[in-house]
Amino acid sequence: MGKSHLENPVIETQQLVGPLNRSLKENIAKLKAAFQSCDDINFLYIKPENKSCLIYLSDIVSSQKLNELHQAFSSVGEAHDSLIKSCEADRLPYQVSHVESEWSALIEKILLGYAILLTDGQERASTFNISHPIGREVTTPEVERTVEGPKEGFVEQSQVNLHLIRQKIRTPSLKVNRLTLGTQTKTQITILYIEGIANEKIVQEVHKRLSRIKTDSILDSRYVQSMISDAPFSPFPTMLSTERPDRVSAELLEGKVAILTDGSPSALVAPITFVEYLHSSEDYYNSSVVSTIIRWVRFLGLFVALILPAFFVAVVTFHQDLLQTPLLIRVAANRANLPYPALVEAIFMYLTYELLREAGLRMPKIFGGPIITILGLILISQAAVTAGVIGPLMSIVVSTTALTAFILPNYSFHQIIRFCGIPLLLLSGFFGFMGILVGLMFGLAHLVSLRSFGIPYLSPVSPSRKEGWKDVFFRVPWWAMETLPPGLGIDNDKTNTKPPKRNGEDHFE
């Protein structure tokens, strides 16, 4: 389910192409052939002459709107010419959305929840938007939660998501381009950027990559991400996926491009850099000092989640001389009667945690999935230590690593860092510190080689752009952010804010 088959031939009942026919009977016959075995298609003839027919899909239209429309048709008059004139004059309760003369456009309208009116002797059809809106209301984001700042998150309807962004960026410079992808799903893709701020070359590249997608289904934004990302075989994402409208709005104001996918509660943002995965929307709602300290805590958490188990295994296995004598004696005493080496213990704890975490994600919410995961890890670790299978220090190290990984604000990045620690763990178990250094060097070389829509992945650290460091390791006050982020190919003289005047005068003009 949900698999996308690229260039896969699909057998359909009948493909309707070309213009409509003047004969109502022939048009109805073609529609019935196209929607063969579709029990939800309805053909409602307008009496008494039966020279007009209303076609719709019963399960996706509003019954109330349909009844009102049918009553309006019945009250127009007996002659179907009067009905045509009423449609042209927009005298009906639901105005004609479009007048279509091509089968492809007409079929698409039916599948979107429109009712179409076919009339004998007419080579065009009137369409009425009577679709029944479904979907959940705007709620708090499920994953990217914050204490400060807006509490609204994206939903599955791209129109609602666009409305949330328009509420924050109220300018005609915010451009909206739409296209349809997926030969079967006909998924609407919306491209957003701010004219005059976004780099036109990046906007054109986004359009170019999206236009090359040939697939029969797009069910989520991750389908699009996997098809247009740089370095598809790299574990590191080169596009940001977020469910927060404020985060997308901030990225747009920095000159980036956003992609909304109908049916997905997440938006894609490009280009993106490595350090931005360590940033949170909440950083910009707190003071610069607090935000800077929290960012350093995240950087510390990144290194702990990545190398702490590998460091511990390397020290216990190869580099015991680095430990002070009292600590060394205690570690040796704890490991004296353990049956397996430290590497095997660490792998066992890693696998146990991953099994519990996956079970917690799939567990019904009523059972408290995350709580069960944490409690299960604690209980199993305690039981394993009591049984003499693993050492207490190893239990502390792996448990600390598992919990520290959640300090990373982006879930996709959190998954990658968690799994990148496994190769480092294996290298440390066989080669000690040298293995860790070699693994980190290969990882760093890979990061340096990555690009996100032509932008270096480690920018503005490598290549070094000091003017961009104001919002990397530190979060300087708003009045000090005089330029847009460097490296995007945009005009950095376009300031976001005005610097304060030194004489104490009001710096807002």
CB 413 within 8 A of CB 447: no
Place of tokens 């220090």: 393
Cα-based angle 346, 348, 354 (whole degrees, multiple of 5): 100
- CA of residue 287 relative to chain centroid, distance: 28
Per the structure block, which two tokens stand in for 90? 């927009």
Cα 173 to Cα 165: distance, rounded to the nearest angstrom: 13
Indicate yes or no: pTM above 0.75.
yes
H-state helical runs in 318-410: 325-335, 342-362, 369-386, 392-404
Single out the residue of 445, 380, 5 nearest to residue 234, CA to CA: 445
pLDDT tens string, the chain, 509 residues long: the values are 444 444 444 434 456 778 888 888 888 888 888 888 888 888 988 776 678 888 898 888 888 888 887 777 766 654 445 555 555 545 555 555 667 788 888 888 888 888 888 888 888 888 888 887 777 888 888 888 888 888 899 998 888 999 999 989 988 889 999 999 998 888 999 999 998 888 899 999 999 999 999 999 999 999 999 999 988 889 999 999 999 999 999 999 988 999 999 989 999 999 999 988 988 888 888 888 888 899 999 999 999 999 999 999 999 888 888 888 888 888 888 778 888 888 998 998 888 888 888 877 777 766 666 677 777 777 888 888 888 888 888 888 888 888 888 888 888 888 899 889 999 999 999 999 999 999 999 999 999 999 999 899 988 887 777 766 777 888 877 777 766 665 565 545 444 444 333 333 443 33
| 128 alpha carbon, distance to own chain's centre | 32
Distance (Å, whole) CA 256 – CA 485: 10
* Residue 245: C-alpha distances to residues 141, 153, 252 (Å): 10, 6, 11
Query: DSSP labels for 480-500?
Result: G--SPPTTSSS-TTS-SSPPP
Token pair belonging to 503: 């004489």
List Cβ<8 Å contacts ≥24 apart for 463-466.
463/487
Strand, helix or coil for residue 6: coil
Rounded-to-integer distance, Cα 274 and Cα 90, Å? 54
User: Per-domain residue ranges for the chain?
Assistant: 24-129, 158-272, 288-456
Q: How far apart are CA 469 and CA 277, in angstroms?
A: 15
